[in-house]
Amino acid sequence: MSEIAREIVCVECGGTAHLISFLPEEGLEPGESLAYRCADCNDRFDVIWEEDDG
Is 27 in contact with 51 (CB distance < 8 Å)?
no
What is the spatial distance between Cα 49 and Cα 42, in angstroms, rounded to a whole number? Answer: 21
Q: What is the pLDDT of residues 6-49, one digit of tens each?
A: 999 999 999 999 999 999 888 888 899 999 999 999 999 999 99
CB environment 41-54: b (16+ within 10 A), e (fewer): eeeeeebebeeeee
Domain boundaries, the chain: 7-48
Predicted model pTM = 0.83
pLDDT value of residue 3: 81
List the one residue out of 41, 46, 4 whose CA is nearest residue 23: 4
In degrees, rounded to 5, the angle at the alpha carbon of residue 14 between the alpha carbons of residues 52 and 49 is 20
